[in-house]
Structure formats: C-alpha cells, structure tokens
Structure 1
Amino acid sequence: MNKRPLILRTLIVLVVVGVFASAIHPLFERDYYETFLGLLVKPADPEEAKKVQADAEKLVKEAEALRKADPNLFQSQALLKAADDSGVDLTKMVKGSDLEDNRDVMSVIRKHASSSIRLGLDLNGGVEFILQLVPDEDLSKELGGEQTEAEKQSAAERQTNFDRYRDIAIETLRKRLEGQKIFEAEIAPSGDSYVSLRAPVVAKDEKVKLMNLIKMSAKLNFRMVHENNAQLVSGITPENEKNFVPPFGYELMKTSEFRPGQAPLVTYYVVEKMPKMTGKDIVSAHANKDQFGQRMIMLAFNSRGAAQFAEVTRENIGRSMAIVLDGQLYCAPRINDAITGGSAQITGRFSEEECKSIADALVSGSFPFQIKIDAVFDTDPKLGAANVANGIWVGVISLLAVAAFMCIYYRLSGFIAVCALALNIVLVLGALAAFNATLTLPGIAGIVLTIGMAVDANVLVFERIREELAAGKNLRTAVDLGYSRAFSAVFDANITTLITAIILMYVGTGAVKGFAVTLSIGILSSLFTALFVTRLIFDYLFAYTKLQKLTMMQFFKNAHYDFRAMRGKVFALSGILIVASFVLFAVLGRGMLGIDFTGGTQVSFNYVEQIPQEQIEKALAAAGYEGTVTYKYNAIDGAQEMEILVRGDQTGRIDSTASPKDLLLKLLNEKFPQAQFSGGLESSVGGLIGREFTKAAFIAIGLSIIGIGIYISLRYEFTYALSSILALAHDVIISLGIFLATGRTVSLTVVAALLTVIGYSINDTVVIFDRIRENRNLGTCKTFDENVNLSVNQTLNRTILTSLTTFIVVFVLFLGAGAAINDFVLIMMLGIVIGTYSSICISPQLVSLWHAKEPAANNNNVKAVKNSEPKKAAGESK
C-alpha cells in the first residue's frame, strides 16, 4: 500500500479534529477581571512587567470601587470607566490584534471570559429585559395623541395601531439580535405598552452589549452646524457648558476623543434641532476603515435618499454637517462639494463591536419608539437544573447504549463506527463554539438526527461490505467496493437533509434557525467521519495488521417479504389515520396551539423557598392549567421572583372576587406551603410567534420541501420526488395527529421535532430509491414492481437497524429525561416509527404504482428471473 496518502489523510484528520476540539475551550464562563489580568502583555524587562501588573491591579481596584458606589455597573463598564478617567491606554497593556480603543479591549476580554458554547434559554437561562415602548411625537399624533376629543380615535383603534407598530419593533429587535448571531431570543408583547425580551448570554457582561443594542433606536439625523460655530463655542469648557444658552432652534452637542495619559479632548458644536434629512432611506451599512486606520460606518441610500442627500449637500457647501445617531453626535464633517454618489460615512470613537452593532441596527430599521429598559432579570433555565442534568446523563446513557449495540452487532466494524461517532460529537460541539452558534433543545434535535445519520452512513457501508463478502470477494476488495457502492446512497441521503437545513437556516427564524445551524454542522461532520475517518481506520488495519475477516450479526437473512400484497391494507390504514388527523385538527382549531403561539396570562410571585419547576408545572397541569415556570433574579435590588405563563384567556375561571393571580396563588400555597408565595403582578402576554416569524417558518418549510423535490427529480425522476414529498406530508400529518390525540399542544420545540421527522424520513426514503435505481440499471428483475419489492427487502436490514439505533437514543430520553422535554421526545419517537413505516410501505409503493407498466431495466439486457411469487414471510431468496 502507498503510505504517503495514508499519512496525508491522517494529518488532515488530526488538523480538523485539533482545530474544532480546541474551539471547545473554555467550557465555562470565567471572571472578567481575572481574564483581564491573564491577558496582560509580558514585557521582557522584569521591572516593566511588574509595573504593567501593578497598573492593571490598580485599575481593577478602582473598577471595584466604582461598582460598589454604583451597583448598576457591570465589570466591563466599571473597568472601562476607570481606564478612561485615568487616561490609561489599555491597548498597550492587553494582548490582541487590531486594538485601537479601550472599547476594543473590553470586547476582547469579554470574548475570552465567555464560555465557548452559548447555551439557550431552555438549557442555561439568560437575561430578560422588560422594555417600555414610548411612542415618538409623530407616532403619538398618528395614535390620536394631539386631536380633539371628537377627532380622537376610539381606544380600541388606537391600541390596534399601537400593536401594529409594536409588532414592527419586535421583528426589528429580532433582526438586530440575529445580526449578532443570537437566533434563539424570545420576544413577546407584555401588557399594554411593554415588550419582554429574553436572550441567552455566554457572559454576564454580555448584557451590556445587548442593552446598548436594544436601546438603540437607530434614528440617524443629518443636521447642520451653526455657521458661526467656532465663535459661539470659543469659551465653553466642561465646567460651564451647562450655562451655555444656544440660539433659538439650536442645541449644544459635543464629541469626545480619547487621548492616552491625558483627559479626553472634548469638541463642542452648536447644531440645528431640526434635521435636514433622516436615515430612513438607508439600504446598506457596513463597518470600514479609512487610509489612516480610523474606523467608520459606510452608508448607502436608495434612489430617493441619494437625491435628497445630494440636494442637502449642494445647498450647504462650506458648512459642517452633524451626523447624529440616537441623540449622540458622532462627527461633523465639512461639506466641500455636493455628494451625489448616494453614500455617506460616520466617523467617531467606535470599537469594532460597536461598528457592527450600529451598522446592523441601521440596516434592520429604526423604531417609531423610544425604548426604556424598565427592568433587567437573570433567568434560570426553562428546563430546570434537574431536568438539564437528567437530560445530560440520559443522553450519555443512550449514546452508550447505541455504542454497545453497534459493537455487539457489527463487532470490529461497530467499534470503528463508535470511534467515528465520538469524533463526530467533538466536531459538532467544536463547530458550534467556532461559529458562535447557540445550543438549545431544538439544536439537540439536530444533534440527535445527525447521530442517527452518522450511524446510518456506517450501516450502509457495512451492509454493502457484507453483500460483497457474501458474493465471494476478499475482505480488502469487499471494503473498497462497500465504500464506493454505498457512497451514492450516503451522499444523496445527506444532501437532501442538508438542503432542508440550509433553506431553514437562511429563511427560518428563532428556534427553527438554531435547529438548522446545528443540523447543517452535524451533516457535514457525519459525512467526514463516516466516509473519511472510518475508511482511514480500515486502511491502517490492512496496512499494519493481518485482518482477513469481519464478523457481523444479521436481523434478516435473504429477506423476501411481499410488500406488494400489503399495499391495499397499508394505503387504507394511512388514509384512515390522515383523515382522522385532519378531523382532530378541525375540532381542536386554535386549541392545538401552545403558549408559544397563543400567548396567555403572565403572573409573578415572590417566594421564600424555591420549588423545582417540574413540580409546579405538574401541579398546574393537574388543576387544568397549561403553563411554564421560570425563576428570575434581579441582580440590582436582589429581588427574586417566580414567573408563571399560563396558556390562553383565563377569564372563564374567574368569579366575582378572584383574578387569575389570586386563583394561582391559592392553588400553589395549598400545594407548596413551604414556598410561602406572596405578592405578585399579573399581565397579558402575546405569543412568541409573530406574523413575520410564522410567515418565515412556513416559507422555510415550503422551500425545503420544494428543494428536496427538485434534487430528487434531478438525481432520480419526478415521480420519485413526488412520492417522497407525499410520504413526508404523510409522516408529519400522522405524527402530529397522534401527538395531539394524547392531549398535548404544538410548541416551538414540537415544530423543531417535526422538522427532524422530515429530515429523518427523507434520509430513509432516499436510500431505498438509490437501491431501486441501481437494480433498475443492472436489470435484476423483469418488472418494475418486482424491482421495488426486491430493493425494499435488500435494504430492510439497514432500514430497521438505523431506525432501531436512533429509537434507542430517543426512547431512553423519553423514559429518563423528565417531563420538560417529554413533548419533544414523544414526537421524535412517533416520527421515527411512522417515517420508517412510510419509507418501507408508502413511498416505494407510490413509485411502483406510477411505473407499474414499465419494464424494470433501463436496457434490454434483463436477466432471467424465476417466475414465482415471493413468500409472504421471511425466507431464503432463490
């Protein structure tokens, strides 16, 4: 054997694994100040090194003093203020590249202090902002704020208009967070004029970044500076600036430039209050640098904005134009000539992080509101610590069960597959860390699916090797042929699922996008480990051992079931289940939608002893409430709250003296007297799923199905594509119908699980289609009908085996992972069973019906096959 390719391939594996494995570190968040001290430069001169260390420790002490005086300050804010007030240039003290400002240093420290993998709200909790939306003056007029009583709209009409603008603000916030790669935020209306925004964070100080991003209205104004500005501001100093009285229609604004070792340089401008134009016509914005390395934000206008900007600059040549964003003056460049190119730029004191945030905010849109942050809470994981711990242990146990099964069934080959599976998990986690993805429960759905697909790829190869060995090939030849002949099935099965993932990733939002990111990473990783790594291990065994034999178990030896004879009964059963599911959908109506879609009543209580979330949710369910429980903690005033979100309108439960809050308080104190629940607030909360979110989800699912159909049409035929799409619809409808029949409701995690069902089912179906195509090209059977039946039987071992291994993982989760993820796991179980059933009995039989009158082969060289009816039970093939 040529060892050079072997060594080269080994190096490729080591490099790939090394890169992604290193990305996982650190797994847990570190203290901000300790991280800062750990990033200090180490000068060669010991005395200079001691001075840097001493200066850094002095800054930390000053920052702690600032935080003690103002508990609202985060560590990063306090350290930045301490450094700026002292004129300390942190860029000279901290290791890093492209550090131009102390704010850049804060970003570097925050990144190093953060844990490598961002966990979602359901797994790790996060932060919640209660945002008050205060309409701007123009919006207030539109909502009826400055009309006579006779002219004012009704309260209902004003609220409808306000709700419409609030929905726009919510979707704008969602886009901004997605621009920062935070796809799993939960944003919902809360009360009449509030919005609740929850987001996962990997470091406590990341809340500062989120707060700044959220508060940014992204209102960009271009205002003119007074013609006699230099004369007007000549005597202004920081001490007397408050005494300055600007001319009518103007206001005093200033910029601040950091200078190492000196006080900041403050420059004053007298600026018109009324803008000449706004930034509403901006179509793109991105961070850039000028020839001197100074950061700036480049803007591009649409045709209307470009014409207006050209007119404004043409009329004001020789004057300075103030560029004001959200009330802050960033720069005031002098207009030397008319600017007709439809572009502008904002310069000023930006960190790289701030540049990107501002650019994202300008592109995502401005708010018709001023946003006030009313409260900030740290939130516990939705699933609860016990549920998360149980989920981890159960996941480990299920993976060990799959590993044991593979080793027992495939012996040495199974052990090789398990090694590849372990490597696959490392690569997936490393990629999540490297790409700043967030791991949530839907993301775990993607990992579960990729584990199943990784096992599936190995099973396809091993079953092909078994067939080649049974045909009399020696082991090395059988392995070569096994990998080459299984490649098309493995490739097609993974590509069809990847099509779904990519479309969902670019069109979907929220949890759907999080699921798609994880799934895409997992597919590419499983292809690499199953086809590249396992083959490399086999090559090492052939090169350095005397391996001559592979032993494997086998469920079905020469399976020859007559699936054609079952066709009528199978179609009838599926038809009954589909009709029953649609009847159930019609009867339930909106009643089948969970809190994520419908919203409900939110109640919060104070407590003395914390009760596990799962116990409270069980007590609520027993009393007929569908609700979720979250514990929140306000770091500023130390307040602790338990928040309950109950699905739907609770007015039907209310008598003349009790409110939903009173009813829940009485119920919980009776069930858990030790908690001593008291006080509390009550408000209505909208669903997490807005119009734009819902539209994007439907578009994503529709496009993914179309994409799968196009790919299968190109690789096979249109009838194959149509059959697979009908089978996918069959699987989703029946799985959802049975799920709802158990009394459960549809949530975001259920949607993610249904997407997993689509991916899993199409994977199974394509493998069978691949064998039908191969047998058709070989001319193995006389009729197409016989070809389909033979192909299903030939792939039966693989179909049952991969379904069984994935089912083991999900079933162990169902038994031990707790009630919090029970819905998610149940629909996964249903999807595996129904998807396997449709892959064997529905999609191949639909293809067979459409091709019933065609010959089985594509050529005239059809092999003779004994004309006998197949057995209706397992037996030896003739």
Structure 2
Amino acid sequence: MNKRPLILRTLITVVVVLVFTLAIHPLFQRDYYETFLGMLKDKQDPEAHQVVKEAKALQEANPQLYQSQALLQAADAKGLDLTKKVNGNDLQDNRDVMSLIRKNASSSIRLGLDLNGGVEFILQLVPDQEFLAMFKEDDTNAASREEMQARMASEFDRYRDIAIEILRKRLEGQKIFEAEIAPSGSSYVALRAPVVAKDEKLKLLNLIKMSARLNFRLVHENNAELVKQYLADKNNFVVPVGYELLTTSEFRPGQEPKVEYYFVNKIPEMTGKGISNAMATKDEFGQRKIQLRFSQAGAEDFARVTSRNIGRQLAIVLDGNLYCAPVVNQAITGGSAEISGRFSNEEAKSIADALVSGSFPFQIKVDAVFDTDPKLGASNVANGIWVGAISLVLVAIFMCVYYRVAGLISVVALALNVVLILGAMAAFNATLTLPGIAGIILTIGMAVDANVLVFERIREELKSGKSLMNAVDYGYQKAFSAVFDANLTTLITSIILMSVGTGAIKGFAVTLSIGILTSLFTALFVTRLIFDYLFRYTRLSALPMMQFFKKTEFNFNRMWSKAMTISGILILLSIVVFFVRGKSMLGVDFTGGTQVTFTYAEQIPQEKLEAALKKAGYDATVTYKYNAAAATDNSKVEILVRGDLTKANANESPMDHLASLLNKEFPTAKLSNGLESSIGGLIGWEFTKAALLAIAFSIIGIGAYVTLRYEFTYALTSILALLHDVIIVTGIFLALGRTISLTVIAALLTVIGYSINDTVVIFDRIRENASLKTCKTYEENVNLSINQTLNRTMLTSLTTFIVVFVLFLGAGVAINDFVLIMMLGIIVGTYSSVFLAGPMVALMRRMRSKRETMANAPAAEKR
C-alpha cells in the first residue's frame, strides 16, 4: 500500500487553488459609487449616501468629472472624513479612500489595448528654457542663435525619443508594461495605455503631465512678517521682486484646510538632476514621505547648498507645487534628503517613480484624450476566445483518448493550471494581451509536455517489469530532471526579458514566468497527488496507453548530412528573402506611417476595413476611438498606413483617396472630415536596443545554464539550433508576404522557448544514457536517445499544433501572423531538435576527440 503522506500535500493544493481562484473575482469592472457604498462600515450611513448624491450632481453639472473626482470634491466640500466610514487599512485621508475604491471597483485581470482598448493621450512637447539651456551647453561653438536653433530642430527627434522612454519607464513603474508610445507629427507624442477603470485615466494623466522638475529654493528670510502683511491686505500686497507666493494645505476632518504661506525665491539653489534614487516611505509616526538619494555630484551640491544656508527654510518644489519647507539646521553631507507632505500612497509612489525615471526637458500639453476600442475588434476577441477554448477541449479529448486514466489526470492538472495562471495574473496586476496569450499557449504546451514526459517514463518502467506503483514512482523521479531543465531554461529567458525588455515583450515575459511556475506545480505536484489518492483508495492496477511508435529504431545519424543540406538551403534562402524584402519586411510598429482620422456615420467592423485596405495594397491597422470632451463629432475611426500614402490619384490628395476608396466599398460608413499626420514607429532606438539586448541575453543565459548542467558542447549546439529556427521561421514568414511587428517578435520569442524545451529533453536523455553506458559509442547513444524520446516529441508537438492550427483556421486575420509564426515554429523546432541538435552534439564530440588525439600523439611517440 502507498504510504506517501497525503494530508499536507492536499492542504497545500487546496489552499493554492483556492487563493488564486478567489483572486480572479471579479472578472468585470464594478460601478464606482456602488463599490464605495459596499465598503461602508454602516451600509445605511446617511452622510455617505448623501455625498454620493452630491457627487452625481457634480457630474451632471460637469460631465468631464470622473466619479472619483466628483466623490472627492463632494466629501471635501462637506469636510467629511471618509477614512472613518469605510473598511480599510492605512487610510490617512480621502484620497487614500479614492484609491482603495478604484482598486476594489476594478476587474481582476487587466486586458491590454489589443483585447479591451484603453485610453489615448495626444501630447504636445514644447521645449522650455531648461531645454534651451541644455542645448546651449552642448553647442557653445554655434556661430549664431539662428544656427543653434536650426541645429536644435534637427536634434529634436533625439530629445523626443528620450521623453518617450521616460514616459515608458514611468508607466512601467506603475506596472503598465503594454503602453504604446509613438511620435505623431512634428512635436506631438501619441500615448496609448490599457486601463481597468475609467478613473485610472485621471491617475495616468497626472503621471504623464508630471515633468518631475524638482527644485530646492530658499524661502524669504522675513517670510513670517511678509505673510502677516499679505493676510492683512491681500489686494494691495506686492510680492518682493524675485519671489513668488506658494502654499501648502493640510486637510483636517470637519474643519477648513489649514493653509501655510511661503514667499519662495524663483531661482533654485539646486535642481533634482543629481537624484539617483527615490522611494516612498513612512516615518515613525506613519507620515508619508519621499526619500531621496543623490549621486556623488548631487550629494556634493546638496552639501554645498545646506552648508551655506544654515538657519534658512529650504523649500522643496516639484513641478511648481510646494510640498514642504524645512529649516536647514546643519550641513547635510550624507547624500540624502526627503520630501514630506500630504500624499496618498498612490501619489507618493507616482512621484518617486517620476523622479527616478527622469525629468522632462519639455512642457507637456495634453491636446486630447480619447477612449479607444480594442485593436483586435470585438468579433476577433470573441472568436479568439471561442476558438482557443475549442482547441483546448480538443487537446483534452486527445490526451484522454491517448493516455486514458493518466490523460484524464493531466486534463485536471491543465484546468487547474489555467485557473492558477489567471489568478496569478490578477494577483500580480499583470495585463493580458496577445503576447500574454502567447505565453499562456506556450505554458499549456509545456504543461502537456511535462505530463507526457512522466507518462512515457512510466510506460518504460512498466515495460521493464516493475509494478504499477513502482513504475509511477520511478517515472516521476526519472522525468524530473528533464522537466525541470526544460522549464528552467525557458524561465531564464522570461526573467531576462522581464528585466531588459520593454512594452509587449515584458508583458509576454511576465505571463510566461507565471505560467512556467504554475505548470511545474500542476504537472509534478498535483498529478502526483492524484495518483497517490488513486493508489490509496482505488484498485488501480494498470495504465493502458496508446503509442505512436511501437518500436523506434531510426538511424538519425545517417540522416544528419541530408538534414544539414536542407537546413543550409533554407537558411540561405531566408537570408536572400531578408535582403530582397529590405525595409519592406518591417511593419508599421517599426517604420511608423501616415495616420488618417475620419468621422463616420456607421461603424464598420475593423477587420472588414483592414481587409479592404489590404486588398487595395495598403498595410494598415484600424482603430475606433471616442473623445468624451468633444461636443460634436466625438467618434472617430483612425487608420494607420505603413509608410506614405502613395496610392492616390493625381486629382485627389492621399487622404481623400483613402476616404473615397472606403466609402465606395462601404457606402453607409460615410467617412468625412479627414485629418492626416505622420506618426513614428512604436519602436524607437531605445526600445529596439532593449529588445535586442533581451534576446541576446536570453540566448546567452540559456547557453550558460546548459553549460553548467551539461557541458559547453551542448550549450553551443542549443544556441545554433535556436538561431537556425528563428532564421528559417522568419524567412518563410517573410516569403509569404508578411511583415514583422511586435506581435511577430512575441511569437518568435515563443518559438525560442518552445524549441529549447524540445532540445533540452533530448539532451537530458543523452546524458542519462551516457552515465548508464548503454551504448558503445557516443553516436549510438545520441541515436538511441532521440528514438527513446521520439514518442514524447511527437505528442508534445501534436498537442501544441492542435491549439495553434485551430486558432489559425478560426481566430480571424487579426492574430493570423502570430498563429502562423507559432505553426512554423512548432514544425521547424521539432525538426531541428530531432534531426540536428543531437547529431550536432555527436559531431562536435567526434571533432573534439580527434583534436585531443592529435594533440596527444607527439607525447605518445616520445614515450
């Protein structure tokens, strides 16, 4: 009888599944006011219900107010302290309550722009005096002001790229990794970000507008006397030359806010350029503050300023707002400072993130705010969900038919795996996007792979004559190293992508990392627990299974030369395709293009518009968006065409040609009032550099791990196999007339993870057989190992291929590129793992052996 303990493992499983299942709730966003009323300690509190009524009245009077703004204004106007009325911890003022309500009202899983839409901000970047001063410092040899201005104009794009990356870092500091930020026109930036709740737009707007320009400025020596004079006669008071009046306010429940007045020098003693780190913290009394750390140069400047002004008040001013004005009691030489003031948790973290990410050399003007529809279109999203569900059901049916009882156990584990992935994404506030779905698909394939590895080892142990219980024990033990190595190599990739990558690449990595950990838990821990229950409480005596290959004795070493020839030809053809396509192989995400916006009478499905444009020869994406602030024509359709609009006739402008083309195809659309502007790629140089570093470090990380676990020969072979897969898959994809986009990059990363998974499993069996000395030669060992793992390789490839093939047939054109890359990756990755990786290891071993023999030959002759 199986004596393995069950209670503790069962308790762990139940707790983990329960925690992550509860994290998924709620799936949809709830009403802000209803959420607030549901959080009340006294659900019938008349003051709370009255403040909600007044907030709604404020919104009726000013439709531009968000619910959180209206509720905060109504509560502050009444002097109502909401922290005493709601359930919550660490609530210091009403803004903390607003943040808590927003969090509770949000849906559990944030959906990305492609799946759920979001918000778009059109930002104008206006160079300020600081920008000009910076430029002058870089251009002291300019012959004239005109020359300087001309050169500054030519350099503006570079500074704009810096601003874009600063914005990106700020959003990533708020756990928003999937934002799209691109140049638009000559001095504009278009920023799109996914939002869970409508009120998040306000939070993002404040973060975006924050220039993070920190100044340390002296308060007037006679400030107290000047304040008395000002309060005595505000109308006739004259502010001292060179100073301005700034205020701080302290909220006091049931009373008027306490306002402090300071006359502050306009010229700063020091700026915040020397800040190396900033962190939101609390003092011993629970008061929030922002701790600053300076670089070496910044610390020296701060020591100089404080040593010269002992006894004076030093105002800390951020973006023109005074936060505090402490008295300098002594010179501060430790390289740190702090900002105290009235912050909510959210505000303190936002300010700290902005200070770390850097300050803008621009004034930021928000020209427009739009709500955007999902980029994939509602029908594509619905199709994708249904088709994905159908494909997973087919995989489940296949596993149950092929492995019978064991297959049913794996299906239970897969279902739990999906729940855990979604729960973890909700718990860690991850955003689900198309690249994220790529990560989920890969982890589902890896979870199936782990089960297949275990079941195939159980089959081998049963063939050797072991009892079923012992076969299961040995199956899990012997499969563990292969499962662990295969998952860990992919985890290394995802961790590096998280730390180095940005945007969609980081979103993909977050989802993939979560999926790998949950897959290991369900495939090894949960399925083993189910087997133990079956052995303990049932009479399970056999595990019938089907088998693709009853007897595998293929000579893969003999096929190696032919496989190398085929691969060489495919790589050469792929390189030719790269050169022939040139820049045309890059999609709009890289190249940018022309953005045309129209008003419309009837909303035509996005996929139909994109199909019509593609038929006419345009590489274009279509998005619907809405400007709530516009009184009329607030609904617009945005068409982003790769490159310039060159299809126009001589008698009409490119924009008019596009309108007439679509109006002819869809007469009810009635596109009109077109606006045209050029827009840069979503991927600037900083983004491209980060993506290239991410991929390079991923491959290096995989190579380092394989070297430690096996040897350098295996690592070099795995890297060559990965490069082989990426080049051939990309070449075939481009040869079919497709273009490279962010989605394609995510799919290629998925291919890398999938391919290394296959290769490592074969390497693990080669190592095992080598330690057992099963074969006379290393070539025989490699050939035997590939044959022994062939059933597992074919099964894993088939189950994953089922998922992506069904998606390819029914999920629509919007994710067609991603699915096509996955299909090609499965075929090419399986081919390289079976026909190239193992034989290449054998070849390198043979070459190394010959070199060692030749090196030792002279020594032998001497002896």
Query: For residue 56 of structure 1, what is the aligned residue in structure 2?
Result: 48
Pick one of 632, 635, 643 that aligns with 1:640.
635
**1:346-379 Cα distance to aligned partner (Å, 9 max, x none):** 1111001100000000000000011111111000
Secondary structure in structure 1 of the residue aligned to 2:196:
coil
Question: Shift of the alpha carbon at 1:686?
Answer: 0.3
Task: Read off the aligned partner of 2:267 and give its amino acid letter.
Answer: M
Counting matched residue pairs gives 845
More deviation, 434-443/143-152: 143-152
**Per-residue CA distance 1:36-74 (angstroms, 9 max, x = gap):** 1010113xxxxxx64xx2111111111112222222211
Paired AA for residue 771 in structure 1: R
Report the Cα offset of residue 680 of structure 1.
Answer: 1.6
Identity %: 71
2:537 paired with 1:544: yes
- 1:129–1:198 CA contact under 8 A, matched in 2: yes
Name the aligned partner's letter for residue 369 of structure 1: F
Which of 667, 678, 696 matches 2:672? 678
Q: Deviations over 1:661-684 (max 9, x none)?
A: 111111111111101111021100
Residue 330, structure 1, aligned to residue 309, structure 2: no
SS at match of 1:675: coil
Of 107, 122, 128, the residue aligned with 1:130 is 122
Q: Which residue of the partner structure matches residue 75 of structure 2?
A: 83
Q: In the alignment, is residue 744 of structure 1 matched against residue 738 of structure 2?
A: yes
Q: Could you say which residue in structure 2 is the equivalent of 1:789?
A: 783
Query: Which residue number corresponds to residue 718 of structure 1?
Result: 712
Distance, in Å, in 1 between the alignment partners of 2:217 and 2:268 is 5
The residue that corresponds to 1:71 in the other structure is: 63
Q: Displacement of 1:242 after TM fit? A: 6.4
Any idea what SS the aligned residue of 1:564 has? helix
Structure-2 change in CA distance of 1:89 and 1:240 (3 Å): farther
Distance 1:21 1:228, change over 3 A: same
- Structure 1 distance, partners of 2:446, 2:820, is 19
Q: 1: distance between equivalents of 2:352 and 2:322?
A: 16
In structure 1, what is the equivalent of residue 855 of structure 2?
none
Question: Which of 88, 94, 103 is the matching residue for 1:102?
Answer: 94
Paired with 2:29 and 2:236, the residues of 1 have a C-alpha distance of: 47
Equivalent position SS for 2:338:
strand
Task: Provide the residue aligned with 1:584 in structure 2.
Answer: 577
The code of the aligned residue for 2:118 comes to G
Q: Could you tell me which of 120, 123, 139 is aligned with 2:131?
A: 139
Amino acid of the structure 1 residue aligned with 2:119: V
1:674 aligns to what SS in structure 2? coil
Deviates more, 1:581-590 or 1:106-115: 581-590
**Residues 290-342 of structure 1, C-alpha deviations (whole Å, 9 max, x = no match):** 22211110101111111111111111111111110000011111111111111
Q: 1:756 to 1:407 in 2, by over 3 A?
A: same
Question: Per-residue displacement from partner, 1:228-256 (whole Å, max 9, x unpaired)?
Answer: 1111111545x975654211000111011
Offset of residue 151 of structure 1: 3.6
**In structure 2, distance between residues paired with 1:240 and 1:770:** 85
TM-score w.r.t. structure 2 length?
0.96
The change in CA–CA distance for 1:824 and 1:242 in structure 2 (over 3 A counts) is farther
Q: What is the aligned partner in structure 1 of residue 28 from structure 2?
A: 28
Structure-1 separation of matches of 2:172 and 2:340: 25
| 2:794 paired with 1:800 | yes
Residue 390 of structure 2 aligns to a residue in which SS?
Answer: helix
Partner of 2:362: 369
Contact residue 630 and residue 644 of structure 1 kept, 8 A: yes
| Aligned twin of 2:552 | 559
Checking the alignment, whether the CA contact within 8 Å between 1:85 and 1:263 is kept in structure 2 is no
Note closer, same or farther for the CA distance 1:54–1:243 as it changes in structure 2 (3 Å cut): farther
Unaligned runs of 5+ in 2: 850-863
Alpha-carbon spacing, 1:4–1:488, altered in 2? closer, same or farther (3 Å): closer
CA drift at 1:779: 1.2
SS where residue 355 of structure 2 aligns? helix
SS of equivalent to 1:550: coil
- How far the C-alpha of 1:3 sits from its partner, in A, is 6.4
- Residue of structure 2 equivalent to 1:860: none
Contact 2:219 2:312 in 1 (8 A): yes
1:649 lines up with 2:641 in the alignment:
no
- Shift, 1:283, TM fit: 0.4
- Select between 299-308 and 592-601 the one with higher mean Cα deviation: 299-308
1:272 is matched with which residue: 261, 265, 273? 265
- Provide Cα deviations, 1:362-401, integer angstroms capped at 9, x if missing partner: 0000000111111110000000000000000000000000
Partner AA of 2:509 in structure 1? A
Matched-pair contact (CA < 8 Å) for 1:144–1:158 = no
Checking the alignment, whether the CA contact within 8 Å between 1:143 and 1:161 is kept in structure 2 is no
Query: Structure 1 residues 744 and 83, CA, compared in 2 at 3 Å: closer, same or farther?
Result: same
Instruction: Identify which of 163, 168, 177 aligns with 2:162.
Output: 168
Which residue does 2:440 correspond to in 1?
447
Q: Distance in 2 between matches of 1:397 and 1:755?
A: 25
Select 1:691's aligned residue among 679, 685, 694.
Answer: 685
- Read off the aligned partner of 1:555 and give its amino acid letter: F
- 1:356-395 to 2 correspondences below 5 Å: 356-395=349-388
Alpha-carbon distance change, 510 to 425 in structure 1, aligned in 2, over 3 angstroms: same
Deviation at 1:94, TM superposition (A): 1.1
Which deviates more from structure 2 when the two are superposed, residues 6-15 or residues 658-667? 658-667
8 A Cα contact 1:783 1:854, kept in partner: no
Q: Which residue of 1 aligns with 2:6?
A: 6
Q: Secondary structure at the match of 1:566?
A: helix
Q: Distance in 2 between matches of 1:854 and 1:193?
A: 59
Give the superposed CA RMSD: 1.8
> 8 Å contact 1:144–1:152 — kept in the other structure?
no
- Over residues 520-563 of structure 1, what are the superposed CA-to-partner deviations in whole Å (9 max), with x where a residue is unaligned? 10001000000000000000000000110110000001111111
Say whether 1:213 aligns with 2:207: yes
Q: Paired residue for 1:283, among 247, 263, 276?
A: 276
Alpha carbons 2:229, 2:237 under 8 Å: kept:
no
Structure 2 partner of 1:875: none
Distance 2:132 2:711 in 1: 59
Q: Is the 8 A contact 2:2 2:532 kept in 1?
A: no
Which AA in structure 2 matches 1:646? V
CA contact (8 A) 1:731 1:831 kept: yes
Range moving further from structure 2, 340-349 or 180-189: 340-349
- SS of aligned partner of 1:233: helix
Mapped pair 1:246 → 2:221: no
Give the Cα separation in 2 of the matches to 1:278 and 1:156. 28
- Cα 1:155–1:483, aligned 2, differ >3 Å: closer, same or farther? same
Q: Does 1:756 align with 2:750?
A: yes
Equivalent residue in structure 1 for 2:190, among 181, 193, 196: 196
Quote the residue 2:696 is aligned against.
Answer: 702
**TM-superposed deviation, 1:851:** 2.1
How far did 1:658 drift? 2.7
Equivalent AA in structure 2 for residue 210 of structure 1? L
C-alpha displacement of 1:285: 0.5
Q: Tell whether the 8 Å contact from 2:4 to 2:532 is kept in structure 1 after alignment.
A: no
With over 3 angstroms needed to count, the CA separation of the structure-2 counterparts of 1:463 and 1:261, relative to structure 1, is same
Task: Provide the residue aligned with 2:854 in structure 1.
Answer: none
In 1, Cα distance between the equivalents of 2:145 and 2:258? 52
Aligned AA (2:761): V
CA gap 1:155/1:746 in 2 versus in 1, 3 angstroms: farther
Residues 754 and 728 of structure 1: CA distance in aligned 2, closer, same or farther (over 3 Å): same
Three-state SS of the structure 2 residue aligned to 1:565 is helix
How far apart are the structure 1 equivalents of 2:89 and 2:234? 38
- Partner of 1:330, secondary structure, is strand
Q: Which SS does the other structure have where 2:827 is aligned?
A: helix
Q: Deviations over 1:76-123 (max 9, x none)?
A: 011111111211111001110000111110110000000010100000
- For the residue of structure 2 that corresponds to 1:128, the secondary structure is strand
The alpha carbon displacement at 1:588 in A equals 1.2
C-alpha distance in structure 1 between counterparts of 2:334 and 2:357, whole Å: 22
Q: CA deviation at 1:144?
A: 8.8
Instruction: State the match for 1:526 in structure 2.
Output: 519
| 2:724 corresponds to 1:730 | yes
Q: Work out the CA distance in 2 between the residues paired with 1:515 and 1:396.
A: 20
1:142: Cα distance to partner? 6.3
TM-score by length of 1: 0.94
1:831 maps onto 2:831 in alignment: no
**How far apart, CA to CA, are the structure 2 residues paired with 1:340 and 1:803?**
62
Stretches of structure 1 lacking an aligned partner (at least 5 in a row): 43-48, 856-878
